[in-house]
């Protein structure tokens, strides 16, 4: 029995969807049953996902609503880079995503747990896979996802006085604050960032064979 067949036939209560794309299996799991199901992933002899490869956050803000022209600009060049985006935010906006490996069965699995913006808490799996410790700290730091039961949940990539979560889609490119040395205080201090945010507007295409259709000449 294949991994997908076993997952579907077992009717795990926490699993809401089983997806297969390009031979990669992704499970969507309900947050309330995530920790119990995580135990099953490791201890069920037909699964035995003994290695947690990664934990990462995802922000689906404006997912599927592209801001950037792509293929057509190869021959026409850019106009303005940014288009108007809706003010409303679709929920659930965030996800905590896990990648697993079963060394016994040579299987890989992705698990996605969706999270609402107003409730970004999810059970830590540090007690099941200790390697989750730093992975969960990274997702907390960059996305603001709170892993309940984590033994030491604090920032890991940004410093302790950092404001915000820099991989969220609505985090400003220039940041919120900047740090500098204050000679009078003889210390590094934070102050509001003085760089003005702006829309990047790429300029157009030079006369170059790389931008011409096949068979065209620059002569």
Report if residue 183 sits inside a domain: no
In a domain, 172, yes or no: no
- Is the pLDDT at 79 greater than 70? The verdict is no
pLDDT value for 191? 80
The predicted pLDDT at position 199 comes to 56
Q: Which domain holds residue 20?
A: 3-154
Q: What is the mean pLDDT of residues 111-132?
A: 97
Instruction: Grade residue 208 by pLDDT with cuts at 50, 70 and 90.
Output: low
Q: Which of 19-33, 61-75, 181-195 has the highest mean pLDDT?
A: 19-33
What is the predicted pLDDT for the residue at 136? 98
Q: What is the pLDDT of residue 21?
A: 87
Token pair recorded at residue 29: 């799991």
Whether pLDDT at 145 is above 80 = yes
**Does residue 171 fall inside a structural domain?**
no
Domain annotation covers residue 178? no
Residue 127: band (very low, low, confident or very high) from pLDDT cuts 50, 70, 90? very high
Average pLDDT over residues 56-82: 67
- Report the pLDDT averaged over residues 210-217: 56
Whole-number Cα distances in Å, 151 to 50, 125, 146, 162: 21, 11, 12, 21
Average pLDDT, the chain: 85
Supply φ then ψ for residue 3, to 5 degrees.
-60, -45
**Confidence (pTM):** 0.78
Q: Does pLDDT of 68 surpass 80? A: no
Q: What is the pLDDT of residue 125?
A: 98
Residue 163 resides in a domain: no
Residue 160 lies in a domain: no
Domain count, the chain: 1
Residue 63 has pLDDT above 60, yes or no: yes
pLDDT on residue 219 = 47
Domain presence at residue 185: no
Task: Say which CATH number the domain at 137 has.
Answer: 3.30.460.80
Does a structural domain hold residue 188? no
């Amino acid at each position: 029995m294949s991994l997908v067949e076993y997952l579907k036939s077992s009717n795990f209560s926490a699993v809401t969807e089983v997806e297969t794309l390009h031979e990669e299996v992704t499970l969507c799991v309900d947050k309330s049953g995530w920790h119990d199901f995580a135990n099953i992933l490791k201890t069920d002899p037909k699964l035995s996902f003994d290695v947690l490869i990664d934990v990462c956050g995802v922000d689906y803000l404006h997912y599927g609503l592209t801001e950037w022209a792509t293929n057509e600009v190869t021959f026409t060049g850019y106009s303005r880079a940014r288009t108007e985006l809706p003010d409303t935010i679709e929920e659930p906006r965030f996800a905590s995503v896990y990648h697993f490996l079963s060394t016994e069965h040579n299987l890989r699995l992705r698990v996605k747990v969706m999270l609402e913006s107003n409730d970004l808490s999810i059970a830590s799996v540090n007690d099941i896979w200790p390697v989750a410790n730093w992975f969960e700290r990274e997702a907390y730091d960059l996305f603001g996802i709170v892993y309940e039961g984590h033994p030491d949940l604090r920032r890991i990539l940004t410093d302790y006085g950092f404001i915000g979560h820099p991989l969220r889609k609505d985090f400003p490119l220039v940041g919120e604050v900047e740090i500098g040395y204050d000679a009078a205080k003889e210390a590094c201090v934070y102050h509001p960032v003085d760089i003005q945010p702006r829309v990047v507007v790429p300029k157009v295409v030079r006369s170059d064979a790389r931008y011409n259709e096949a068979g065209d000449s620059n002569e």
